[in-house]
Amino acid sequence: MGFSFRRSSSFGPFRLNFSKSGIGASVGVKGARVTLTPAGRTYITVGAGGFSYRQNLHAGYRSSPVRPQLQPAQTAPALDEIKTADVEELRESSKSELVEDLNRRAAMFNPAIILFIAAGILGLIGMITLTSSLPAMLPALPEISSYSDSTRQANMTDEYALLVARYGEPSTVQIAQAGSTPVRNATWDSAHLTVRFVPVGCVDALRYFEAHKDDPPPIHATGRRRSAPRTETPTAPSCNVTASKASTIVAYEDAQSHTPIDAATAAGFLAGISNRSAAAPVVNVSTPVLVKGRAAKALAPPQSLEYDQPTFQKEEQRLRELEITGKLNQRIGVACLAGAVLFLIPGVLVHRKNREKRTTQLIYDLSDSAKALQEEVEGSLGHLGRSGAIWRLDSQSAITDWKRNAGAAYNVQRERISMRRSTPARVESNIVPLCLDLGKLKLFFLPDQVLYWQRGTFASIDYSDLKVASTSTRFIEESVQTSDSQQVGNTWRYVRKDGGPDRRFSNNRQLPIMLYGVVHATSAAGLNLVFHTSRPDSATSFQTNFQAFQMNRSRHTLPDPATESAPKSSTRDDSTALTFPTDIAQALSVLGLRPGCTAEEIAAAYRHMAQMYHPDKTAGLGPEIQKLADQRMKEINAAHQALKRFDQSQGENAYSNPRC
């Protein structure tokens, strides 16, 4: 047994507890006491009669460990969006003539759209009418199933007349007698198809004949006292030819192989007929079939084949109407397509002319120092480009159930972005700047400013107003790792407090913990972008080189972009800003202000910046973002205090006085 020590001393309502862990205290009366443990935890105990209730007043002073971020899982909580300024907010603060010109030209109406819409509508109508002008699909042939289809007996339409009207007269017709049923085998030689017909209402009689044609002759009674038993034969169905001479299809046959085929195959054969024959077919009569052991009376070939004329004429009339409608639709379709072309050609010409009006020619005439500065900013951006992957963080929120989220403290939603050389839309320039493509928005790094594009609208961000900070973060990666990223540990998808795998989950897998860089880009107008880089040194190098570029740029005067009317860029006069003390100019830059501002504008800028970076606004974000925001808030407060002191010392209009 280990050594233990515990002793209590009471002084009225107060009590001191001595133990190996330290000294604790409690105060209260019987049934209700407040206790402070040696570990620093405080709780209240209420109870009587053997029942008690204990409630911790706070969780003590033990801090929770710093946990890495995790890519969002399927059951992720609601994420807090990392808000950045909308393009309209940045546009209001933009003082660039280039931005005004770009937005003015972007708002110009393009009349070619009307011509393109008209051409599209006419083209669509033309395609639809041309499609409907194609030869109409003829009705499907009736399906035959070895005489077992009961609908064949009930058919009263002359199907021979229909086929003659659709495909022309057959080449030959072979007439035979099957018992009391006349059978007509019509053959279209060009389609290699034979179709068998019987008069309507005679299908059952043909079926009976086919079933009993091979039966032996009946046994007649002899002079014996006892004759052999006789088998009763069912009565044969009658075949009464109607006055309409209508015929029903009972079979399809390949004329070359003499094998039965189905209706779909027969329709395919008939579709191959290119010219409908109007000549009467050659009619033959086959050898009579034996009926009850005796030859039937031979039939003479008919002079002509009869069929239902009303059915034939009605089908011909329907086909003529389809043909007329098809030709009319064809003319309409061709006319619509021709009209679409007539609208499309002037539309292209108008669009080219309008594109020239809507295009801004941005020509830079850079000095050697300006070229060097442009190389510096592109070099700093090149450090970001050296990362195998760059992500923009769209949202982030704290995780409460970290055990089921690989031990992560924050859930983030991110989107992979890219960097390339590209000019803004409707801009022609002799310089192709680097573009940071963020999906819904783009940043173009021009020699004199950063162009911000979103939803077809431009805004301008001055380089001196763009603040960047960098740090690193531990990220639990669930997607594919990049080749240049550094793995600093492992964790489990479902993790215990000691870092081991939670054995309650069978699909628990190990996840890598990567070390990523974090870049936080902000501006006084409300820009707020957070990036992850696969290489932490890329974020640090970018911050160092970009801040060095900003310091070098502040010592030079840069030209503004020129438009069509001005072949060379004009020079902005920043001499007023150079007359301020260095700390005051820096303070104005922190708040996104320039010389000429008033005290009211300074107060408004401070309130706007404080609302963005106040700790309450970043409480739900990651620790590295909170750290950057806290550092930024300290800079904002220091700048505001410096400007207040300068205002008090210089008096009214302190920031617009060149002597400052």
pLDDT of residue 299: 52
Instruction: List pLDDT tens digits, range 376-418.
Output: 999 999 988 888 889 888 876 666 565 555 556 667 788 888 8
CA dist., res. 317 & res. 300, Å (int): 34
Q: Which residue has the higher pLDDT, 480 or 285?
A: 285
Instruction: List pLDDT tens digits, range 445-470.
Output: 998 888 888 888 888 888 888 889 98
Nearest to 397 by CA among 386, 413, 384, 383: 413
Q: Residue 495: inside a domain, yes or no?
A: no
Judgement on whether residues 169 and 286 belong to the same structural domain of the protein: yes
CA dist., res. 635 & res. 629, Å (int): 10
pLDDT of residue 188: 93
Judgement on whether residues 170 and 287 belong to the same structural domain of the protein: yes
Judgement on whether residues 182 and 294 belong to the same structural domain of the protein: yes
Judgement on whether residues 48 and 169 belong to the same structural domain of the protein: no
Q: Residue 77: inside a domain, yes or no?
A: no
Domain boundary among 273, 307, 341: 307
Q: Residue 38: inside a domain, yes or no?
A: yes
Domain boundary among 291, 307, 323: 307
Domain boundary among 278, 307, 336: 307
In the chain the first and final C-alpha atoms are separated, in Å, by 80
pLDDT of residue 402: 55
Say how many CA atoms lie within 13 Å of 603 toward its Cβ: 4
Give the angle 441-442-445 at the CA atoms, nearest 5°. 155
Judgement on whether residues 167 and 51 belong to the same structural domain of the protein: no
Residue 121 binned pLDDT confidence (cut-offs 50, 70, 90) = very high
Into how many domains does the chain fold? Answer: 3
pLDDT of residue 20: 63
Q: Residue 606: inside a domain, yes or no?
A: yes
**Burial class (CB within 10 angstroms; exposed 0-12, middle 13-18, buried 19+) of 390:** buried
Q: Residue 505: inside a domain, yes or no?
A: no
Q: Which residue has the higher pLDDT, 616 or 199?
A: 199
Contact 469, 632 (CB under 8 A): yes
Q: Residue 545: inside a domain, yes or no?
A: no
Judgement on whether residues 44 and 172 belong to the same structural domain of the protein: no
User: What's the mean pLDDT in 45-52?
Assistant: 59
Instruction: List pLDDT tens digits, range 138-179.
Output: 778 888 765 556 778 888 888 999 999 999 999 999 988 887
Q: What is the mean pLDDT of the chain?
A: 76
Q: Residue 336: inside a domain, yes or no?
A: no
Nearest to 625 by CA among 84, 90, 64: 84
Instruction: List pLDDT tens digits, range 208-237.
Output: 888 887 777 665 544 454 444 555 556 777
pLDDT of residue 254: 92
Q: Residue 163: inside a domain, yes or no?
A: yes
Give the angle 442-378-468 at the CA atoms, nearest 5°. 65
pLDDT of residue 358: 81
CA dist., res. 94 & res. 451, Å (int): 10
What CATH number did the domain enclosing 579 receive? 1.10.287.110
Per the DSSP assignment, residues forming a β-bridge with 354 are none
Q: Please give the helix or strand (H or E) that residue 616 lies within, else none.
A: none
Judgement on whether residues 168 and 48 belong to the same structural domain of the protein: no
Distances (CA, A) of 125 to 119, 122, 323, 336, 339: 10, 5, 20, 7, 11
**What residue numbers bound the domain in which 39 lies?**
6-56
